Amino acid sequence: MKEKILVTGGAGYIGSHTCLELLNEGYEVVVVDNLSNASRESLARVEKLTGKTLSFYEVDIMDRAGLADVFHKEKNIAAVVHFAAKKAVGESVENPLEYYQNNITGSLCLCEMMLEHGVSRIVFSSSSTVYGSPETVPVQENARIGATNPYGHSKVMMEQVLMDTGKVNDWDVVILRYFNPVGAHDSGEIGEDPEYPFNLLPYVSQVAAGLREQVAIFGDDYETPDGTCIRDYIHVVDLAKAHVRSLDKILQKPQGLLVYNLGAGRGYSVKEMVEAFRRISGLEIKAVIEPRRSGDVPVSVGDPSKANKDLEWIAEHDLDDMVSSTWKWQTKYPRGYR
Ligand code: NAD
Ligand code: WQD
């Protein structure tokens, strides 16, 4: 058995896929999740798929005593992978304090616990949202930071907290800026299970499944080839593997601060995504053009070459894999984990 990894938010969408890859690679996995946006069932399926067990604590990372108890019971945590956060951009605009409280206070509590217990390695879930509206694409890690909403600000702040704390305490800090995570595990057993699908692909998937009537395409008058926004979609299994590579790297030898874009490095438009879903599902999928959604940038594509080189990692899944795995998960479990 390899080292013990504490995964916060491990029952969630990206967390559950990462737990699966960690177990498959022989790591010992301890999950802390308050189940505010997840089900325990995701981890039951991870255990079934891998034939391995993990430790689970239903604890809120803002609950100092609860978290202290986990660090106390689980001796020898070698590193933390920190997914736990609220992530709905619109909701963060409506209720910034809830977002700062959860994402910042929770993360600070986690960092303090790491300091107290001598845990000095962390892989942090950041987001392409920290770039706001990028001046040039594909965007590189040294691009100007400029988030435009409280959710994004919470990621920028936590990056800074980790950089400052890491520097003075000799931590290994890996900041992973994901572009647009999509898809599901190839088995169709685990996937994204949103209460309401704010993101494009889960929405299209629910329309294809007949759960919603039509997809609204938010704007077709952008300065892009077909007028709709372009995003760098990245398969969740590829993302999960990048976390394992990051851990392998910092557990092998001290690295200090590492910052990586995690994307495929190529973009697809909203129309292309809907069209791909039509092709793969063989269904019509009604789509209508609606006004632009406030806050959307025309193009967001990352340059993943730093991660490709340093982590020896590359996004292996293509567009068809992203769509077909989403559709497999949707048809196998129309009600997700419920
Ligand atoms: P998710 O909501 O599925 O997972 C987050 C998990 O954290 C959930 O299981 C939730 O129950 C848990 N959680 C939230 N607050 C908690 C708290 N205070 N204490 C304990 N557990 C808590 O989201 P996801 O898509 O898997 O995202 C994981 C991480 O990646 C988040 O930090 C998110 O901001 C970041 N991210 C996500 C995307 C995306 O589009 N999915 C893109 C970029 C970055
Ligand atoms: C993609 C494109 C929409 C829904 C968000 C967060 C970002 C990151 C990833 C966490 C856009 C269009 C969408 C719909 C549509 N999350 N769209 N109809 O906005 O690029 O990124 O998730 O860190 O921070 O902002 O993703 O999937 O919402 O939208 O036309 O019903 O699809 O306008 O152009 P986004 P998305």
pLDDT digits (tens, 9 = 90+) for 260-274: 999 999 999 999 999
User: What pLDDT is attached to residue 249?
Assistant: 98
Query: If we measure between CA atoms, which residue out of 268, 269, 274 comes closest to residue 286?
Result: 274
Residues lower than pLDDT 70 in the chain: none
For residue 89, report the distance from its CA to the centre of ligand 2, in Å. Answer: 9
pTM score: 0.99
Contact in structure between 39 and 193 (CB atoms under 8 Å): yes
Residue-by-residue DSSP string for 285-299: --EEEEPPPTT--SE
**Ligand 1 close to Cβ of residue 102 (< 6 A):** yes
**Ligand 1 close to Cβ of residue 315 (< 6 A):** no
Question: What is the tens place of the pLDDT at every residue in 183-207?
Answer: 999 999 999 999 899 999 999 999 9
Token duo for residue 6: 């504490």
All residues at 6 or more sequence positions from 309 whose CB lies less than 8 Å from its CB, including other chains: none
Question: What is the tens place of the pLDDT at every residue in 86-109?
Answer: 999 999 999 999 999 999 999 999
User: Could you identify the atom of ligand 2 that is nearest to the CA of residue 126?
Assistant: 23
**Ligand 2 close to Cβ of residue 200 (< 6 A):** yes
User: What pLDDT is attached to residue 45?
Assistant: 98
**Ligand 1 close to Cβ of residue 109 (< 6 A):** no
User: What pLDDT is attached to residue 195?
Assistant: 86
Q: Which of 200, 224, 323 to mutate to test the pocket of ligand 2 (most atoms within 8 A of CB)?
A: 200
**Ligand 1 close to Cβ of residue 333 (< 6 A):** no
**Ligand 2 close to Cβ of residue 326 (< 6 A):** no
User: What pLDDT is attached to residue 106?
Assistant: 98
Give CA separation, 309 vs 247, 293, 313, in Å: 15, 36, 7
Ligand nearest to the CA of 66: 1
User: Could you identify the atom of ligand 2 that is nearest to the CA of residue 293?
Assistant: 33
What is the C-alpha separation between 277 and 275, in angstroms, rounded?
Answer: 5
User: What pLDDT is attached to residue 183?
Assistant: 98
User: Could you identify the atom of ligand 2 that is nearest to the CA of residue 290?
Assistant: 30
What is the C-alpha separation between 131 and 163, in angstroms, rounded?
Answer: 17
User: What pLDDT is attached to residue 199?
Assistant: 97
Q: Which of 91, 105, 125, 195 to mutate to test the pocket of ligand 1 (most atoms within 8 A of CB)?
A: 125
User: What pLDDT is attached to residue 1?
Assistant: 85
Q: Which of 83, 92, 101 to mutate to test the pocket of ligand 1 (most atoms within 8 A of CB)?
A: 83
**Ligand 2 close to Cβ of residue 82 (< 6 A):** no
For residue 225, report the distance from its CA to the centre of ligand 1, in Å. Answer: 33
All residues at 6 or more sequence positions from 23 whose CB lies less than 8 Å from its CB, including other chains: 29, 46, 47, 50, 52, 54
**Ligand 1 close to Cβ of residue 100 (< 6 A):** no
Nearest CA to ligand 2 atom 33: 218
Q: At what angle do helices 13-24 and 40-50 cross, to 10 degrees?
A: 20
SS (H, E, C) 125-157: EEEHHHHCCCCCCCECCCCCCCCCCHHHHHHHH
**Among 151, 178, 233, 268, the one annotated catalytic:** 151
User: Could you identify the atom of ligand 2 that is nearest to the CA of residue 297?
Assistant: 34
Residue 151 catalytic?
yes
Ligand nearest to the CA of 219: 2
